[in-house]
Amino acid sequence: MIRALSLGLALLPALALAHAGHDHATPMESAFVQETLLLPDIPVTDTQGRSAGFVSRYGDAGPVLISFIYTECEDNCSMVKAVMKLVDDDLQAAGAPPLRLIALSVDPWRDTPQSLAAAAAEIEASDNWDWLVASRADTPVLLSAFGLKPGPVEAHEAVYLLGDFRTGRFWRIPGVPEPQALIDHARQIAP
């Protein structure tokens, strides 16, 4: 997994160089698709084994950035984790917006709080980055509420949701966004 994350981190500078000399705001802004989500308060369990309703847990959190992963993924999850790690690192700086990071497992059959904790520790995720899993029965319902197909875990898309549970407004960001663009947009929606 370290090798896959290293590859993901190594590809990010190449992605940035590919856009050198271009207006970064234009492609990123067009990738943001705003929508209103009505999410069920399905129980999710964190790496400490604490369970709480997803909406209840983050209702007062302010801006959140949600990604979808599974611990045995070696394909697009590596890039998703790399983007989230860069955002996580940037949020440690003074003046960073109050953005909460969430990694939600799409594989409740194999992911446990312990395996999520190990994955978070492996990439040195900060305490501001929650790793969560819902039950096997609830995961498809939760993914559907996010507008994701609950099909085979190997077929899940690289997508991020940036928004606020208080308003229900979220921006869907597919693919590989620039971490700084995510932080800049979070700054715009922070209270």
> What is the predicted pLDDT for the residue at 119?
96
Q: What's at 172, amino acid-wise?
A: R
> What is the predicted pLDDT for the residue at 101?
97
> What is the predicted pLDDT for the residue at 27?
43
Helix (H, G, I), strand (E, B) or coil at 67: strand
Query: Please, what are the domains in the chain?
Result: 2-189 (3.40.30.10)
Single pTM value for the model:
0.83
Cβ neighbours for 47, distance < 8 A, ≥ 6 positions apart? 113, 114, 116, 117, 120, 130, 131
> What is the predicted pLDDT for the residue at 190?
74
SS (H, E, C) 120-140: HHHCCCCCCEEEEEECCCHHH
Mean pLDDT by 10 residues, the chain (191 residues): 44 39 42 87 97 95 94 82 95 91 95 97 96 96 89 80 93 91 87 69
> What is the predicted pLDDT for the residue at 76?
73
> What is the predicted pLDDT for the residue at 78?
84
Q: Under a CB-based contact definition with an 8 Å cutoff, are residues 148 and 160 in contact?
A: no
> What is the predicted pLDDT for the residue at 74?
75
Neighbours of 22 (CB within 10 A): 9
Cβ neighbours for 14, distance < 8 A, ≥ 6 positions apart? none
Neighbours of 123 (CB within 10 A): 17
> What is the predicted pLDDT for the residue at 12?
45
HSE, CB side, 13 Å, CA atoms: give it for residue 9.
12
